[in-house]
Amino acid sequence: MVALALAGAGVVAFAAVTPLPKPDVPQATVIYDSQGRVVASLYRQNRQLARPEEIPESLRQAVVAAEDARFYRHHGFDPVAIGRAALHNLEAGRIVEGGSSITQQLARTLYDLSLERTFGRKFREALLTVKLETRYSKDEILTMYLNQVYFGRGAYGAKVAAREYFGKPLDQLTLAESATLAAFIRGPEIYWRQPERAKGRRDWVLSRMAELGMITPEQARRAQAQPLVLRPPDEPDTRAPYFVDYVRDRLGAEVPELAGQLYTGGFRIYTTLDLDMQQAAEAAVARLDELVAPLGAYRGVPQPQVALVALDPATGAIRAMVGGRDFATTPLNRAVQARRQPGSAFKPFLYTAVLAAAEPITSPVACRLRQYPGGERGEPYTPRDYGRDGYHNAFLDIRQAVAISDNVVAVEWMNRMKPSRVAALARRMGITSPLTTQHLTLALGESEVTPLELARGYATLANLGQRVDPFAILRVEDRDGTVLFRQAPRLERVLAPEVAWLVTDVLKSVFDPAYGGTGRALAIGRPAAGKTGTTDASRDVWFVGYTPDLVAAVWVGSDDFQPVLLPGGAGATGSSTAGRIWQAFMRAALDGRPARDWARPDGVVRASACTLTGSLDDPRFQWREEWFLAGHVPPPNCLALLQDPYVREDLAAAGRAPRGLLPVPLPSLPGLPGLPGLMPPETAPGPDGGANPEGGAAPGDLEPGEGQSRDQDGRAVPGGGAGPGDGGAGGGGDPGGGRDDAAEAAPDAGDASPIPPP
């Protein structure tokens, strides 16, 4: 007894002169969506510190009753409990009961003391127990204990345990639920697995509370009568795993000093994610197996794969992100890390350059055999359209060419605009991947990009010319609520709003059956614009579309560049696969939100203009209404078209004179070959008087193998370039419509038939 007294006095004396170490309590970092809903917790120990006012009195009483009934009457050590435990252990011949107080348990876990039964460990535990008792009040010690103790299933602290077991905030626990958590402390990985034992332990805690006068016997009986219902342990801890992984990456880039503490620092990260839209995205991509045929596995990963990313075009806030079929199987985030050829989904950048150059939408270009220098092996490059014939042999204006995704017309426009000019504009609009500035096949999506880049580029159009920077993190707070990092939208005007509005209006025609649009079966019941994309042999299929409120890019393809097939074995298209996913997502994501259209800028006017239509065998003048940039309405005279050197070249190649309404009599124009100003095809001048239009890639620029797709090892995939492109309804670019539900399917526009006027 004397020895024990001296030892106790020594501990107290030593404690009096020894400062209390500051505990480093690891806490889980919690990620929230834009509406404050929990998306994920990142932790090594899943812990969130509860404030004293969050802890219900019933839980405090239950823990004291179960773990240390004399907690408020001793000073860190309970001689009664120690003596009782020693007697029970002696009777049993083994350790069956501990005598540690709540303060001793806190000292042990707070400072990570080992459980070895050594004098050194016991002395440190006793020292820290005394320091805690002298430094903090009993209520403060109990709060610290409830934030520190392990409750099982990875839950450290009562705040996490309340959500883990009951799916509710800590301050909403019932008496029975408080007793359940107190019961779990004695066997945290035992009781939740054995509900009957857990209920028995819970009921004992309630009886003990009544015995100690904390509750009435009637309250104990009512609580004991309640069934024990726990939240299933197999519910996922992380929602939107690809997005969470992206947030981790961005945090490391934006705030690297916090990245090392991410799993222990207890940060609160508020993000741009919308969990409702994320759920819609995950449900939409889950349709992939209905839309495509399986392609086996590549490096153990099922193929084909899918990616979807959605942005708020007004701010750049990322609202939804899916980077693959299943994060556990394939954590590669294809939405931001996989560069693939976009096919005709790149054409909006080309036509933005065209309209920005004040070319009218009614400008006609003939879809006919054309040859340009710079093909493989020194041969001329000859673009073709999808389909048996490869050419419409008809005049297409810009709206018609975009709607059916015509490749031949797109390459001709690229020849006129020049790849370097289009690439520079695409970079201003948000494309950051390297783009070719030498090849006309840039028009057909030769250069690889990511879905996030395409979504950003299209968002510039949806935002009427203002480019946004995609971002995922709104702010980061520390465990005390101090804001450590904040991010606001970054916008920059890169296009005139009139140009962006015109391009958007043209892209609306992709959904219009009157134009045979490739997305004519993909309407979502509100104003929308978009574009399909399908690369050679269906190795990559895309749909990128937008409304004023949301832009989404969807990619479907195989990691090893296998062709994507429909369930029946035919090649997949942007409209039949990616478009279907886009449609399902947009309908669900925007459900309940009012439909909006884009406000027309003052610099856009409606006027009637003359254009050429019909086949090259029977070209016709036609008047129709269209939107134009103010000050750039074509002259009210069809003869003005005949002054365009490109039109003259197309007519000369066709050997036909246009017919139709003319504003003045033309007695001197009896028709070809006597039409003044027109020459035989072999001598027809280019725009600058040369034999061919200037601007094709120089001979030898396209070396053999360039423009090919490559697998993940860098090997060229035969035929994997931008290819014949998307192929379209009526023999244009994108294969149109796909295999749609009967209620939505639109008939094909026909094979190589003239495009009907709007």
Which of 1-15, 525-539, 613-627, 710-724 has the least mean pLDDT?
710-724
Across the range 341-370, mean pLDDT stands at 97
Best-predicted range by mean pLDDT (3-12, 147-156, 624-633, 666-675):
624-633
Structure confidence by residue, pLDDT tens digits, 383-435? 999 877 889 999 999 999 999 999 999 999 999 999 999 999 999 999 999 99
The crossing angle, in degrees rounded to 10, of helices 57-67 and 102-110 is: 100
Question: How far apart are the two ends of the chain, measured CA to CA in Å?
Answer: 105
Please name which of 640, 630, 618, 647 lies closest in space to residue 397, comparing C-alpha atoms.
647
Phi/psi at 311 (5° precision): -125, 155
Q: What is the distance between the alpha carbons of residues 445 and 423, in angstroms, rounded to a whole number? A: 11
Q: What is the distance between the alpha carbons of residues 756 and 404, in angstroms, rounded to a whole number? A: 12
Cα-based distances in Å from 285 to 4, 148, 232, 521? 70, 41, 26, 18
Please list the alpha-helical segments (H only) found in 482-554: 497-508
Cα-based distances in Å from 247 to 40, 283, 470? 11, 22, 12
In the predicted model, is pLDDT for residue 555 greater than 90? Answer: yes
268-288 burial: b if 16+ Cβ within 10 Å, else e:
bbbbbbbbbbbebbbebbeeb
Please name which of 428, 424, 452 lies closest in space to residue 436, comparing C-alpha atoms.
424
In the predicted model, is pLDDT for residue 20 greater than 70? Answer: no
Give the chain's mean pLDDT.
Answer: 82
Best-predicted range by mean pLDDT (100-114, 119-133, 551-565):
551-565
Element (H, E) at 623: strand 620-629
Residue 47: which pLDDT band, with cuts at 50, 70 and 90? confident
94 versus 300: which is more confidently predicted? Answer: 300
Beta-bridge partner residues of 150: 156
Element (H, E) at 38: strand 38-42
In the predicted model, is pLDDT for residue 234 greater than 70? Answer: no
616 versus 598: which is more confidently predicted? Answer: 598
446-485 burial: b if 16+ Cβ within 10 Å, else e:
bbbbbbbbbbbbbbbbbbbbbbbebbbbbebbeeeeeeeb
Which of 482-491, 551-560, 631-640 has the least mean pLDDT?
631-640
Residue 477: which pLDDT band, with cuts at 50, 70 and 90? very high
In the predicted model, is pLDDT for residue 679 greater than 60? Answer: no
Residues with catalytic annotation? 67, 344
Q: What is the pLDDT of residue 24?
A: 63
Structure confidence by residue, pLDDT tens digits, 271-284? 999 999 999 999 99
Please list the alpha-helical segments (H only) found in 574-644: 579-589
Query: How many other β-carbons are positioned within 10 Å of the β-carbon of residue 651?
Result: 26
Q: What is the distance between the alpha carbons of residues 372 and 694, in angstroms, rounded to a whole number? A: 9
- pTM for the whole thing? 0.75
Which of 43-57, 172-186, 206-220, 524-538 has the least mean pLDDT?
43-57
Q: What is the pLDDT of residue 83?
A: 56
Across the range 525-529, mean pLDDT stands at 97
Phi/psi at 164 (5° precision): -65, -45
Structure confidence by residue, pLDDT tens digits, 280-299? 999 999 999 999 999 999 99
CB 429 within 8 Å of CB 494: yes
Residue 188: which pLDDT band, with cuts at 50, 70 and 90? confident
Please name which of 138, 169, 166 lies closest in space to residue 54, comparing C-alpha atoms.
169
Q: What is the pLDDT of residue 591?
A: 97
